[in-house]
Amino acid sequence: MRLFFLIFLTCITFKLPAQQKILSVSDMQGDLNILHDAWTSLHPGLYRYNSPQQIETYFKRLRYQCASPMPEAKFYILLSQTAQRVKCGHTYLNPLNLDKQTAARILPEKVIPIFFEITEDHKMIITQVVAPKAAYRRGDEIVAINQIPVKKITDSLLTVSRSDGNNATGKKYKNMNETPDEANGYSLFDIYFPLFFHHAKLWTIDVRAYKSKIVRRYPLSLMPFDARLDAYRGKYGAAPTGERSWDYRIVDRQTAYMKFGTFAFWNSKFNEIGFVDSAFQDLKKHLGISNLIIDIRGNEGGDNTGDYILSHITSQKLGCDDPDHSCYRFLTVPDSLLPCLSTWDKTFKAPKNPNDFFINALGLYEQKSKGDDCSFIEPKEPRFGGRVFLLCDAKNSSAGYEMARNFKINKLGTLIGETTGGSQQGINGGKFFFLTLPHSKYEIDLPLIFNYHPAKPDSGIVPDYQVMTTQQSIALKEDKQFQYALKLIKLNREP
């Protein structure tokens, strides 16, 4: 076991920025004790994919690794890797919840001026370039950054990339993408590449041009975070973030298109329901439209707007053929943890009535049935009665995954794209605590509800037609999934 620890540690190269703190052994061990107590007392999915013995082994390993003072960035990685081992897409170190001082030390001041996607064959392909006068372009392959091969980079990032269950490689790679639709926040690459690898003052990038065998090295000037977004706007227009990731348009005389890039609009004034209603009302005016393409690619989740969208394309109630079994690990939050927990609803911390729950076969507290446990999707007017095609990808892992699941389970149309993230066995979520470790000040999201489907496989939703993005499609600006839907419409084919 000790040999494993040493190998693990030597795989990470760190360069300590001047402003970073060194964490003491007592500080780290104190944080680990709180994390252990919080997970074992509160996390409903802790033992979904790990045995209690495995979880204890992870903490034993962490305590061994933290037996001497270390840079706070290294501790951040170790905690991120441990959170990834829980195999819960909602359990991770959330950079949005860091205090300003900690964020200034952990998050990078400058970021890479390139957007890219990881393709099916794990190549890093450029999609947009905001660096001025760059010699590389869309469709070119990034082979190395700072002379570090992309394979080594992605292997490292896989250890901190969150997902649900054991069969979520596609989701883990999607998390590594640097995409304009998430350009208003730090990406996985932005945060972890400089933490894993030395943050050189002068960056280089090795690029193989599309359809070329020659690799050329170029200098790369990083940009301040806000400047990258401004540069994108100047070259490509407004970034498709938030409500700008939503779209509705008529494609041709027989086809309409709706895009829903996110369901997360916390503290936003955007009227999601109003947008959906108005789109379907307008669609009803176009009597010749018999095909609708709904696009949720890149939509990880948020609220349950996906079910509301589906209510406009179904003629019957949906939601009771395979209801969620929702349960908790706790009825009362331990007093010792209360100072470390925050959330948006104080009722989450309130003790639950034991009479409302029973202990199920998993040893969790499951709410007793009240006879109306199904979450119905009610048919809603105006209803679209034509053929529907849903475009999905591996990024769909929370509410995005659930929309794809409900669409396929209820046979509402044809699913095209990539196998989604998430797990058919259910995901953890619904309600959350934000656990702040008092010494490092790192925050870890902690879901409170375990939703499970015991008879389902541990996999995402498999589309009716698997259509992958390739280097060629990126280089030629081809939307393969969208074009495939148009092809099926033309051929008038069902799956």
Domain boundary pick from 206, 236, 266: 236
Residue 403 belongs to some domain of the structure: yes
Whether 19 and 116 share a structural domain: no
Q: What is the pLDDT of residues 265-295, one digit of tens each?
A: 988 999 999 999 999 999 999 999 999 999 9
Question: How many percent of the chain have pLDDT more than 70?
Answer: 93
Residue 341 belongs to some domain of the structure: no
Max Cα-Cα span within the chain: 71
Residues 6+ apart with CB under 8 A from 419: 170, 394, 459, 460, 461, 462, 463, 466
Residue 381 belongs to some domain of the structure: yes
Whether 43 and 93 share a structural domain: yes
The confidence band for 369, taking pLDDT boundaries of 50, 70 and 90, is confident
Residue 333 belongs to some domain of the structure: no
CA distance 454 to 252: 44
Whether 400 and 471 share a structural domain: yes
Residue 365 belongs to some domain of the structure: no
Q: What is the pLDDT of residues 1-56, one digit of tens each?
A: 333 333 333 344 434 444 679 999 999 999 999 999 999 999 999 999 999 999 99
Find, among 23, 24, 20, 32, the residue nearest to 437 by Cα: 32
Whether 118 and 225 share a structural domain: yes
Cα-Cα-Cα-Cα dihedral sign, residues 110, 115, 119, 121: negative
Q: What angle do CA 191, 197, 203 make, to 5 degrees?
A: 90
Whether 207 and 119 share a structural domain: yes
Whether 50 and 142 share a structural domain: no
Whether 262 and 114 share a structural domain: no
Residue 125 belongs to some domain of the structure: yes
Question: Would you state the pLDDT for residue 13?
Answer: 40
Domain boundary pick from 195, 210, 236: 236
Helix locations, 352-479, DSSP H = 399-409, 471-475
Whether 403 and 319 share a structural domain: yes
Domain boundary pick from 97, 126, 151: 97
Identify the domain containing residue 275 by its residue range. Answer: 242-324+375-423+458-491
CATH of the domain at 175: 2.30.42.10
Are 204 and 145 within 8 A, CB to CB? yes
Residue 468 belongs to some domain of the structure: yes
Question: Would you state the pLDDT for residue 1?
Answer: 36
CA distance 399 to 331: 26
CATH of the domain at 471: 3.90.226.10
Question: Would you state the pLDDT for residue 454?
Answer: 77
The confidence band for 455, taking pLDDT boundaries of 50, 70 and 90, is confident
Whether 128 and 23 share a structural domain: no
Mean pLDDT, the chain, whole residue set: 92
Whether 129 and 272 share a structural domain: no
Residue 279 belongs to some domain of the structure: yes
Are 427 and 446 within 8 A, CB to CB? no
Whether 15 and 160 share a structural domain: no
Whether 65 and 177 share a structural domain: no
Q: Domain tally for the chain?
A: 3
